[in-house]
């Protein structure tokens, strides 16, 4: 008891020496306010109350030393430790953050002490750990930089990762952007692979915030410089000026030349003095060559260039020794229906008209004689150096078959030929190359009534002919086919003379009468009146009877017969009188065959009861 009293006395003495004045608590000074603001929850939980002053000091220290971990805010942190899988980052928060090393694959040299940008991904995971994201921070920062580059026109560096459809994929600030093929360079790009894995400068030309798409251009960086060069070049353009250019593009109609930012066109006809089928026969892509300015529009935006004009025109270089009548060699370059163009020297062409390809007068096409690419011999027929025109001939290399035509094909001689063509009035027959003759339709057959030659023969058939007429000056040959055989109507004229009787059957009942076929060539007409039999009835089809010839016309191959004249004496007398009258007229006046036909026709009409 004495010891406790002694310690109590010592404590009281110490307190008396250190405390100068009694301390009055807030509860004692203002008990009503104390009770009103008292934290009964902490009291019930047994939590010791902390003085407000100490709380304020603690809050001040926290605000000065720790960052506010808000979502979507990028802060800078320091790498304080690296494990096999993660990097421990101090962002000056209450605890360190963790980031997977996969997010630093682009930076294999990451080490402790490096400063990195991070984003608060998870404030506290299941273990209470702060989880950060470097990749998300890079994306947010990259988008800020990309948008700023787009707004200000800043030039950015990008890494070409790979090819894609229509262009390339470029890494800009860690974000994949699209580089269209048309935006790589001012000239068309044929090999995209040459740009892969290269770092280049670009300009951000388009951003789609909705789909997070970025389009960049390398072409835009050089267009400004090129535009200045273009203005300078255009301002100095003059017709006839010779410039160096590079083949930029080749089309079927010409070649586009890059003159250093300005494009000009060489039309296919201005590439070479010779004919060409495609410009790639003369030039190739990226080839450097000199060109001459031929023309341009007022704005000088369309420039017409020439290549062949840099060399002398081939006609001017054509030797004076070349003259009409010379034999030349050449290559067929163009074929038309009317002839073929033959290049006898580079850029010098002559026309071989189809009529000069063969001595034949039969109409044919140039394709029947030559083909493009053929090497042929020809003779110069005309030569006009001023108008740069030349006509050639092929047939002149062989003798003219008409020179000895009278000895080879005299009138009356027989030959064989090939049917080459038809007309409405006859058939053209080729006896040999260059010798054609015409058979008129009336000279094809003695007996057949032919309306068109195709009824008698076909093109390509072989026919025997006789030369009927020969016109050497007009180079015309008249032929006959029927003359190769005897005229059967000479024999029929006697066999079927007027008044002769013949037995036959009625072949067909026709208008105003009937027909009777006596043989393969003779088909006679029987007027209706002359079909009457002795009993008054008329002959019918297929009925056989005796007939008398009352008309025979060898010229027109017309035969008229009568059955009634067989038994009626009056008709028989009329026939006899007609025969005598015809003979008398033939003896006295030697009438034409047409007159005799008219007389016989009048007699026939009288017998038919027409008059």
Q: 353-409 pLDDT, tens per residue?
A: 988 888 776 667 888 888 888 999 999 999 888 888 899 999 888 888 888 888 888
Cβ distance 263 to 257 under 8 Å? Answer: yes
Query: Could you tell me the pLDDT band of residue 57, with boundaries at 50, 70 and 90?
Result: low
Which residues face 120 on adjacent strands? 132
Residue 592's pLDDT is 47
Q: 267-302 pLDDT, tens per residue?
A: 998 888 888 889 988 899 889 999 998 888 766 668
Nearby residues of 264 by Cβ (< 8 Å), 6 or more positions away: 245, 256, 257, 291, 293, 303, 304, 305
Residue 607's pLDDT is 52
Residue 256's pLDDT is 92
> Long-range contacts: 417-422, Cβ < 8 Å, 24+?
417/462, 417/463, 417/465, 417/479, 418/460, 418/461, 418/462, 418/463, 419/457, 419/458, 419/459, 419/460, 419/461, 419/462, 419/463, 420/362, 420/459, 421/362, 421/363, 421/459, 422/452, 422/453, 422/454, 422/459
Taking the C-alpha atoms of residue 403 and residue 522, their distance in angstroms, rounded to an integer, is 45
Q: 249-268 pLDDT, tens per residue?
A: 899 999 998 887 788 899 99
Most confident range (mean pLDDT) of 16-30, 143-157, 227-241 is: 143-157
pTM exceeds cut of 0.75: no
**Alpha helices (H) along 501-592:** 569-588
Residue 300's pLDDT is 63
DSSP reduced 3-state for 564: helix
Taking the C-alpha atoms of residue 131 and residue 133, their distance in angstroms, rounded to an integer, is 7
Q: Which residue has the higher pLDDT, 52 or 604?
A: 52
Whole-number average pLDDT of the chain: 78
Inter-CA distances, 406 with 409, 436, 468, 472, Å: 5, 14, 12, 8
**For residue 189, pLDDT beyond 90:** no
Residue 321's pLDDT is 80
DSSP reduced 3-state for 603: helix
Side-chain-facing half-sphere of 131: CA atoms under 13 Å? 9
DSSP reduced 3-state for 186: coil
Q: Which residue has the higher pLDDT, 169 or 71?
A: 169
Residue 2's pLDDT is 39
Q: Tell the residue number behind the tokens 């025997």, with chain if given.
A: 464
Question: What is the signed CA dihedral for 134, 140, 141, 144, rounded to 10 degrees?
Answer: 180
Residue 471's pLDDT is 86
To 5 degrees, how large is the angle CA 411–CA 447–CA 599? Answer: 100
Span of 48-62, 104-118, 440-454 with lowest mean pLDDT = 48-62
**For residue 196, pLDDT beyond 70:** yes
Span of 300-314, 349-363, 573-587 with lowest mean pLDDT = 573-587
CB atoms within 10 A of CB 144: 12
**For residue 9, pLDDT beyond 50:** no
pLDDT-above-90 percentage for the chain: 10
Query: Could you tell me the pLDDT band of residue 587, with boundaries at 50, 70 and 90?
Result: low
The DSSP 8-state label assigned to residue 528 in this structure reads G
Residue 51's pLDDT is 58
Taking the C-alpha atoms of residue 140 and residue 392, their distance in angstroms, rounded to an integer, is 81
Residue 560's pLDDT is 92
Inter-CA distances, 388 with 268, 310, 322, 330, Å: 20, 19, 13, 17
Residue 10's pLDDT is 45
Q: Tell the residue number behind the tokens 């509860």, with chain if given.
A: 27
Which residues face 588 on adjacent strands? none
Most confident range (mean pLDDT) of 48-57, 129-138, 453-462 is: 453-462
Q: Tell the residue number behind the tokens 């063969």, with chain if given.
A: 358
Identify how many contiguous H helices and E strands the chain contains and give both numbers.
Answer: 12, 30
- Angle (deg, nearest 10), helices 569-588 and 593-607: 160
DSSP reduced 3-state for 535: coil
Span of 130-144, 407-421, 500-514 with lowest mean pLDDT = 130-144
Q: Which residue has the higher pLDDT, 151 or 17?
A: 151
**For residue 209, pLDDT beyond 50:** yes
Residue 545: both structure tokens together: 């009877």
Taking the C-alpha atoms of residue 158 and residue 176, their distance in angstroms, rounded to an integer, is 9
**For residue 318, pLDDT beyond 60:** yes
Q: 520-573 pLDDT, tens per residue?
A: 778 899 999 888 888 888 888 888 998 998 888 877 788 999 988 888 766 666
Residue 254's pLDDT is 92
């Amino acid at each position: 008891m004495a010891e406790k009293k002694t310690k109590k006395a010592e404590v009281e003495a110490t307190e008396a020496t250190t405390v100068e004045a009694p301390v009055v608590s807030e509860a004692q000074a203002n008990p009503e306010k104390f009770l009103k603001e008292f934290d009964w929850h902490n009291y019930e939980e047994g939590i010791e109350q902390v003085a407000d002053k100490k709380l304020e000091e603690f809050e001040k220290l926290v605000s000065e030393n720790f960052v506010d971990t808000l979502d979507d805010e990028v802060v800078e942190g320091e790498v304080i430790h690296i494990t096999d899988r993660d990097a421990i980052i101090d962002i000056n928060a209450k605890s360190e953050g963790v980031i997977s090393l996969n997010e630093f694959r682009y930076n294999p040299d990451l080490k402790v002490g490096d400063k990195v940008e991070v984003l608060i991904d998870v404030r506290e995971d299941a273990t209470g750990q702060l989880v950060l994201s470097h990749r998300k921070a890079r994306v947010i920062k990259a988008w800020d930089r990309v948008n700023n580059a787009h707004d200000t026109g800043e030039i950015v560096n990008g890494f070409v990762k790979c090819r894609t459809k229509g262009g390339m994929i470029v890494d800009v600030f860690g974000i994949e952007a699209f580089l269209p093929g048309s935006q790589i360079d001012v000239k068309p790009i044929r090999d995209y692979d040459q740009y892969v894995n290269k770092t280049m400068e670009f300009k951000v030309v388009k951003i789609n915030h909705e789909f997070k798409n970025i389009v960049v251009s390398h072409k835009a960086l050089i267009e400004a410089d090129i535009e200045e060069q273009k203005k300078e070049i255009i301002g100095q353009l003059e017709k006839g000026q010779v410039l160096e250019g590079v083949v930029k593009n080749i089309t079927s109609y010409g070649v586009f030349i890059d003159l250093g930012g300005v494009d000009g066109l060489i039309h296919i006809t201005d590439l070479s003095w010779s004919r060409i089928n495609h410009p790639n026969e003369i030039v190739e892509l990226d080839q450097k060559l000199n060109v001459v300015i031929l023309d341009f529009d007022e704005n000088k935006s369309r420039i017409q260039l020439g290549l062949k004009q840099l060399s002398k025109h081939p006609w001017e270089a054509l030797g004076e020794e070349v003259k009409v009548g010379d034999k030349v060699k050449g290559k067929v370059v163009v074929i038309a229906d009317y002839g073929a163009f033959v290049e006898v020297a580079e850029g010098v062409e002559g026309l071989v008209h189809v009529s000069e390809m063969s001595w034949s007068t039969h109409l044919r096409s140039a394709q029947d004689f030559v083909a493009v690419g053929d090497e042929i011999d020809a003779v110069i027929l005309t030569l006009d150096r001023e108008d740069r025109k030349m006509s050639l001939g092929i047939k002149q290399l062989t003798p003219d078959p008409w020179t000895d035509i009278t000895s080879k094909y005299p009138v009356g001689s027989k030959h064989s030929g090939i049917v080459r063509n038809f007309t409405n009035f006859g058939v053209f027959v080729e006896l040999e190359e260059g010798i054609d003759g015409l058979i008129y339709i009336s000279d094809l057959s003695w007996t057949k009534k032919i309306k068109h030659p195709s009824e008698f023969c076909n093109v390509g058939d072989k026919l025997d002919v006789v030369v009927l007429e020969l016109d050497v000056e007009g180079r015309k040959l008249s032929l006959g086919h029927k003359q190769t055989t005897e005229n059967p109507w000479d024999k029929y004229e006697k066999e079927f003379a007027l008044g002769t009787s013949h037995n036959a059957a009625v072949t067909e009942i026709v208008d105003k009468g009937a027909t009777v076929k006596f043989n393969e060539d003779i088909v006679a007409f029987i007027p209706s009146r002359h079909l009457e039999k002795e009993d008054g009835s008329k002959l019918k089809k297929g009925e056989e009877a005796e007939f008398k010839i009352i008309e025979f016309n060898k010229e027109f191959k017309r035969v008229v017969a009568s059955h009634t004249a067989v038994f009626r004496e009056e008709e028989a007398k009329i026939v006899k009188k007609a025969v005598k009258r015809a003979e008398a007229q033939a003896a006295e006046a030697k009438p034409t065959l047409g007159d005799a036909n008219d007389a016989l026709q009048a007699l026939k009409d009288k017998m038919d009861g027409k008059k």
